[in-house]
Amino acid sequence: MTTHVMTDDRPSGRHLTTAVAARNGMAGGLPTGANDIIHARVLNRAVQRLNVKYGSDLEAGLIRRTVQRAYRELEASARLKTFLPVTAANLAENRLRELARAARDGRAAAALPPSTTTGASPAGTTQSRERTAA
């Protein structure tokens, strides 16, 4: 039994792949450019994941801007852009982790009453010395 595959006049093997590669502009190599649709989806998922993780400490707009800024910074010098969104998401997560830690520490320090702070400020010791000298 003969199928259409055996009777068609199509190039087979390597000739087919180079012909397709020449038509799609890859010149026989693998694509190394950015796939904007995939990059946008990966970045959107990263923003959603980081919103869940740091949304209680940071604003959603700050999280989105941090991811976008990390992507733009890395894109400016990237030669191979395949893993760019994942790398940008990791960089943004590192930055957001530090911002969230600072925000939590700031809220914790603001919640403490002033009487529980220890140590005197340098200005306070100078004023007390001036009073005793006068």
Q: What is the pLDDT of residues 52-61, one digit of tens each?
A: 999 999 999 9
Q: What is the pLDDT of residues 59-76, one digit of tens each?
A: 999 999 999 999 999 999
pLDDT of residue 35: 84
Q: What percent of the chain has pLDDT over 90?
A: 46
- Determine the Cα–Cα distance for residues 127 and 121; give it in Å rounded to an integer: 10
Query: Considering the domain 32-109 in this protein, what is its CATH number?
Result: 1.10.8.1060
Type of residue at 16: L
Classified as helix, coil or strand, 81 is: coil
- Residue 30 pLDDT > 80, yes or no? no
CB 63 within 8 A of CB 50: yes
- Whether pTM exceeds 0.75: no
Show me where the domains of the chain are located.
32-109
CB 42 within 8 A of CB 85: yes
CB 57 within 8 A of CB 103: yes
